[in-house]
Chain A
Amino acid sequence: MTTDNYILFTVAGTSYALPSQDVAHVEMVDQVTRVPNAPAFVDGVVFSRGQVVPAINMRARFGFERAALDVSSRLLVVQSKGRSVGLLVDSCREFMNVPQSSIHPPGEALSGLSAQYVDGMASVGNRLIVVLSLERLLGSTEHAVATRPREQASGEGHGYTETRN
């Protein structure tokens, strides 16, 4: 099913969009249980509707400093290939119908970590929104897991020591 509906969220001041059908639901988050030896961008696990889902810190995923969770922090529970994964974002307040015509392929200007997960750029009004590809986002995380050094799991590699809430 093709849809023009997107869920908009912000990470480190940038607005991103995910197709709404990829998003199971959005919820508030106040606590994430750390999982030892998990990938660096995974804050840990949270319970979401009776399910244990990993929480990917999108700031960390995109190479930003982590920020404390607050009232506007959100967990986007996304679904892809039977997996349920939570994305920790700074805020998520908008549901928007974005015409396909306003989505353009990412330009050269867009670079950096997030570039590889970008489907396109959408300009709505005077806002520029980065449209993400969930498949690539999660696929890359899987890749990250697969390439995770074995030693790290046994605690001999560089540990995952960032402070979290």
Chain B
Amino acid sequence: MATQKRAINGTHHAFDPRSVIGQAEQVTASAHGIARTADEVWEGASEQLRSLDQASVELESTAASLAETATLAESILAATEETLSGANEMAASIEGLASNINGLTSFIGKTATAIDQSSASIQSVSATAAEMATAAEQVTTSITQMSSSVRAVSGDTESLAASVEQTSASLIEMAASIRSVSGNSDDLAAASEQTASSINEMAASIEEVGAMSENLATIIEQNSASIEEMARSIQSVAASGRNIADAATTAAASATQTEKSIESVAGLASRADALARRVSSEAQEGGAAVERSIQGIGRLRTAMSQSSTVMKEMGKRTSDITSIVATINMIAERTNLLSLNASIEAARAGDAGRGFAVVAEEIRNLADRSAKATADIGAIIKGLQDVAQEAITASAEGLRVADDSNAIAETGAAGLRKILGGVNETVEIVGQIARATDEQRQAGKAVTHAVASTVEQSRLVAEATGQQSSAAASIVQGTAQMRKVAQEVTKAVTEQGRASRDIMKAAQSSSRLAADVRKATAEQARTTDQLTQMSETVRKGAASTARAVSEQAVASEQITKAASHLNRQIGLVSRAMIEQTATAKALANGIEGIRTQSDQAARAAAEQARTMKEVAKASEATAREVRSVAKGNQQHSKSAARIVSQVADIRRITQRNVEGVSRTRGGTADLIEQARALTGLMKTPQGRSPNGRNGR
């Protein structure tokens, strides 16, 4: 500046009045241009001020939104934890169910063993088992399908993540582009500095403006970085929110699915329970019938045994009678024999034995009669004995048959008792299952409810985050605009400075030499060239800015693409969800078949448990995300606060700029007045010295 001043002073001798008048007119024109520029700067600063005000208002609303988001995130956290605990509880319950089902399986196995003994029962059980197997297969298929769909979801999520990554990359790119914009801005700032330095010679206020503009640029830079950081953070929060929403949706779907599954299991369990109870009651009825028949057989047997005993007793009595008859017969024979021998002896005794002979004969007659009578009795008894023997044989046969029947019935009863035992155990276990399923259902409902609230909260978070995002975007936009304005201001200020320097040079030349005016004008022209050159540089910077914006647009395009990809992914997820739903339906259908569902139910329960674990995992992820959201929110809040204060600073500086520009406008008006006065001087007395320097 000192050199330029000297240069101007050097040209002071070669002053030409006409060229001074031309120069004065040129100065006036330049002053008018400066005035116009100052006006434009003022307008930009005012605009900036307004923009800052608006940004400040939005920042405040963002801060409020962030606080709200934090609160929501906390409640989400709470809901998620609730969900998690619900899911854990349910997982435990499902595991209990699984073990119950395993128990059921083993008992059903036992029951099956018991049922083996009764063909009818065996057949029905084996039919049921077949059904169960089918159902199990269906369930397995469904689960597999579900699993694959989950895998698909996972894949989708990965693609989602990839697209997010892409988005992030795009954002980084965008940030880089912004940085390049910022670099351009730096260039612009440098140019501004050049301009500022060119108007170094101008009023201290211009210097001051320049310094303040630099200061402003720095702050804006800082502010911009913070905003970008926040925007990024907000983006990540938004991504997290989406993830949460996705996870919550998945969890909700899983929960719904689980609930449906549980419902169907519960329905099946209750049906199984009812069926088992019916089987039990029928088995009991059968058992009672068998018992009755056993009792009947027992009574029959007792009766037969009694009759057999009576028969035997009769037979024995008959035998006794027979032996008595034989004895009587023997006695009769002996009596006959004795009487015969007595007769022989009596005959030997001659007359002396005659009386005795008569008695012996009488005895013999009696003996013969009794022999005949006993023979008759013997014949009768023989007949009786035959009949009794037949009866004994028949009753023994009857007894044997009764014993056989009894044994068979006892075997049947024992089999029935075993079946009954198995059925009762089944009933009990099925009851346990029903109860467990009921508990599960309640737990599932709680989970569903919690998950639903999670989803709701997630939605809210997503919404809020979206708002934040858009706010951030507008902030970024505002910042960009602000930066542009700042650049424009800097440019204008630089132009002002150059003009000021030109003015000073002209004024110096004017003041020294009129001849030097031309030279000064040439110098001015050169300066204008330089200005033009500088404008070209500005234009170049704008172009580069535009290029950067275009690049930004490309990045946005990329983001959009990524978002659409995301949407596609979400669609895929949705389709996967639909598939899952369908699968769940299939699962429900499959589970519909579960009747004596041992293995399948166990697998379903295991699947449920896994799903629950996923839910829990998702919930945990959600919680983690929510926690990070919360953390992000806190950072946002801090950033927002910082931004607010910075914006306040900017506003203050801008205010001062406005004031400086106002003063510049006043100086310029003075300059224009002096130039006009100078022109007047030139036209009338020549010698009047131009007091351009004094014009300040």
Contact = CB atoms under 8 A, between A and B. Distances in A.
Interface in A68-83: 71-72, 74
B330 interface: yes
Contacts of A3: 347
A94 B360 CA distance: 11
B687 to A, nearest CB: 201
Nearest to A22: B344
A93 B368 contact: yes
B152 to A, nearest CB: 107
Contact of B361 (A21, A71, A92, A95): A95
Contact of A21 (B329, B336, B348): B348
B381 to A, nearest CB: 16
A34 to B, nearest CB: 25
Nearest to A27: B337
B347 A26 contact: no
A21 B345 CA distance: 9
A98 interface: no
Contacts of B340: 7, 26, 92-95
B339 interface: yes
A26 B361 contact: no
Interface string B343-371: 11001101000000100110010001000
B333 A26 contact: no
B329 A71 contact: yes
A130 B467 CA distance: 155
Interface range on chain B: under 10, 10 to 19, 20 to 34, or 35 or more?
20 to 34
Contacts, number: 46
A93 B366 CA distance: 12
Interface string A149-162: 00000000000000
Contacts of A26: 337, 340-341, 344
B364 A23 contact: no
A72 B360 CA distance: 19
B400 interface: no
Contacts of A92: 340
B642 interface: no
> Majority SS of interface residues in chain B?
helix
A133 interface: no
A79 B341 CA distance: 14
B215 to A, nearest CB: 158
A156 to B, nearest CB: 41
Contacts of A71: 326, 329-330, 333
B696 interface: no
Nearest to B350: A1
Given A28-B334, A71-B329, A93 B341 contact: no
B343 A20 contact: yes
Given A20-B347, A21-B348, A95 B329 contact: no
A20 B333 contact: no
A7 B330 contact: no
Given A71-B329, A71-B330, A95-B364, A28 B344 contact: no
A28 B333 contact: yes
Nearest to B326: A71
A26 B338 CA distance: 8
Interface in B592-609: none
Contact of B344 (A1, A23, A93): A23
Contacts of A1: 350
Interface string B415-432: 000000000000000000
Interface string A60-102: 0000000000011010000000000000000011110000000
A26 B348 CA distance: 14
B325 to A, nearest CB: 11
B31 to A, nearest CB: 180
Contacts of B347: 3, 5, 20-21, 95
Nearest to B329: A71
A59 interface: no
Nearest to B371: A93
A143 B343 CA distance: 32
Nearest to A93: B336
B352 to A, nearest CB: 13
A165 to B, nearest CB: 17
Contacts of A28: 333-334, 337
Given A20-B344, A21-B348, A74-B337, A93 B330 contact: no
Contacts of B368: 93
B333 to A, nearest CB: 6
A72 B333 contact: yes
A26 B344 CA distance: 9
Contacts of B336: 93
Interface of B: 326, 329-330, 333-334, 336-337, 339-341, 343-344, 347-348, 350, 357, 360-361, 364, 368
18 contacts: A1-B350, A20-B343, A20-B344, A20-B348, A21-B347, A21-B348, A25-B344, A26-B337, A26-B341, A27-B337, A28-B334, A71-B326, A71-B330, A74-B337, A92-B340, A95-B343, A95-B347, A95-B357
